[in-house]
Amino acid sequence: MTIINPARGEAALRVNGCVLKLRPSFEALVGAEGELGPLFALVERAAGGGLSLSEMVGLFWWCLDERPEGLTRAALGEAVVAQGLAACAPALGGLLRQILAGR
């Protein structure tokens, strides 16, 4: 069973029937920033409705605490599309709040 601790900025994302833990650690955020650009700009794009699907999946990918065996980034993206953006919004919102507020 995956335990999610929102006080640590963790969020849950369901993929193929499994609950994955998203943890915005320093290492994860540095990796995401290296790929997606400055995090503050990412948050601004999200707030303005301009965050792309690839950016959302990229942030999720970098923040995965543990990747299940066989999970690819493409499969993660397909799972996000399959469940719809609204279902992923709580996880995205949790990560973005953590980026802005910290612990």
> Per-domain residue ranges for the chain?
6-101
What are the CB-based long-range contacts (under 8 Å, 24+) for 44-53?
46/92, 46/96, 51/92, 53/77, 53/80, 53/81, 53/85
* DSSP conformational letter for 15: E
> pTM here?
0.92
- The residue count for the chain: 103
Distance of CA 50 to the CA centre of its chain: 16
Tens of pLDDT, residues 38-66: 999 999 999 999 999 999 999 999 999 98
State which amino acid sits at residue 8.
R
